[in-house]
């Protein structure tokens, strides 16, 4: 049984244990990256493929006549034509809940860094401003506590709930946005109401055509001037030009962003400019070594079970 890993370097930075993965199949081909033009040749004769972000279109899947199991090495499966896979009798699986702790810790690293003004104070020290202070400390930038602050969460699945649980440790008040106008659950409030109330707004929903650009100028103007926005979900949820203007003009106080609409960015995003009240990280919230090893171990379990006739984490 032949297996192919199309983009190993997107998961493994030469710091993971690949032993179990290597042992679960008789024949493996590992590629750090795969371009579209290389897919047909690399999938030839493969029964199992592991892909994080390589696009598997209908044309590609139709040509891969031996392929039976597609293991997406991520939770989102938008890189696979699921309808084509279903029609061709291919099983598609994903990995789940592998990065919860990593994402939650990154979210709070962003929140705390912004509330405590860590980047500004670090720069001040490097510039010698502490050394020139008349006092033992430097108080140039306002510092806030999380205690009593309102955390608004958009998307209350695995990650949203974990963020809420951690927020309770800081004595924050948690509010959750309604999924849509038909969501009448008593513990949910309309998004616009949440925007006006939140001191910290954190996004944890998947990107769909319905919610693309859900945080734009109108929504940002509803937020408090003291509020901060955290997006460790998907870049397309936020209008980047509107957010850049909101940060520049003071509609909100700050933002922590781990994702952009185009990844890797081509330089066109306004969030790549020097914006002092923005922390921008390169889609690494999920990427602790422990989380990436956990992801790989799930892939191993899926393939091992597939060989015995059992499928778990089935998407198609």
Residues sharing a CB contact under 8 Å with residue 212, sequence separation 6 or more, in sequence order: 236, 237
Catalytic residue, chosen from 185, 263, 312, 314, is: 263
Catalytic annotation present for 312: no
Residues sharing a CB contact under 8 Å with residue 11, sequence separation 6 or more, in sequence order: 52, 73, 292, 295, 296
Task: Say how far apart CA 256 and CA 5 lie, in whole Å.
Answer: 32
Token code pair at residue 211: 């919610």
Residues sharing a CB contact under 8 Å with residue 72, sequence separation 6 or more, in sequence order: 51, 52, 79, 80, 92, 93, 94, 95, 315
Residue 199: DSSP 8-state: S
Starting at the edge strand that comes first in sequence, how are the strands of the sheet with 254-257 ordered? Answer: 188-189, 173-177, 150-154, 200-203, 228-231, 254-257, 278-280
Catalytic residue, chosen from 42, 204, 234, 292, is: 234
H/E stretch holding 188 reads strand 188-189
Catalytic residue, chosen from 96, 245, 283, 294, is: 283
* Strand blocks (E) in 31-134: 48-51, 69-72, 91-93
Catalytic annotation present for 263: yes
Catalytic annotation present for 209: no
Residues in the chain: 316
Alpha carbon dihedral 288, 289, 290, 295, in 10-degree steps, equals 90
Residues designated as active site:
234, 263, 283
């Amino acid at each position: 049984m032949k297996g192919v890993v199309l983009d190993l370097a997107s998961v493994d930075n030469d710091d993971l244990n690949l032993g179990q993965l290597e042992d679960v199949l008789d024949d493996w081909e590992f590629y750090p990256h795969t371009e579209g033009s290389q897919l047909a040749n690399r999938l030839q004769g493969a029964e199992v493929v592991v892909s994080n972000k390589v696009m598997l279109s209908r044309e590609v899947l139709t040509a891969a006549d031996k392929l039976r199991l597609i293991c997406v090495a991520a939770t989102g499966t938008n890189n696979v034509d699921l309808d084509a896979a279903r029609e061709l009798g291919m099983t598609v699986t994903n990995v789940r809940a592998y990065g919860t702790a990593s994402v939650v810790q990154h979210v709070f690293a962003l929140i705390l860094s912004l509330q405590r003004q860590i980047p500004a104070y670090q720069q001040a020290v490097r510039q010698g401003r502490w050394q020139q202070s008349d006092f033992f400390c430097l108080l140039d930038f306002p510092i806030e506590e999380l205690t009593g602050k309102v955390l608004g969460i958009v998307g209350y699945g695995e990650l949203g709930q974990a963020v809420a649980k951690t927020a309770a440790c800081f004595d924050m008040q948690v509010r959750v946005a309604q999924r849509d106008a038909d969501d009448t659950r008593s513990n949910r409030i309309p998004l616009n109401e949440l925007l006006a109330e939140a001191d910290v707004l954190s996004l944890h929903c998947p990107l769909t055509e319905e919610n693309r650009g859900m945080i734009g100028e109108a929504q940002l103007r509803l937020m408090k001037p003291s509020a901060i926005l955290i997006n460790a979900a998907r870049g397309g949820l936020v209008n980047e030009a509107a957010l850049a203007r909101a940060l520049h003009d003071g509609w909100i106080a700050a933002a922590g962003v781990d994702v952009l609409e185009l990844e890797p960015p081509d330089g066109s995003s306004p969030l790549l400019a020097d914006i002092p009240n923005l922390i921008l990280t390169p889609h690494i919230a999920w990427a602790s070594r422990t989380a990436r090893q956990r992801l790989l171990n799930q892939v191993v379990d899926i393939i091992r079970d597939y060989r015995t006739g059992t499928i778990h984490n089935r998407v198609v």
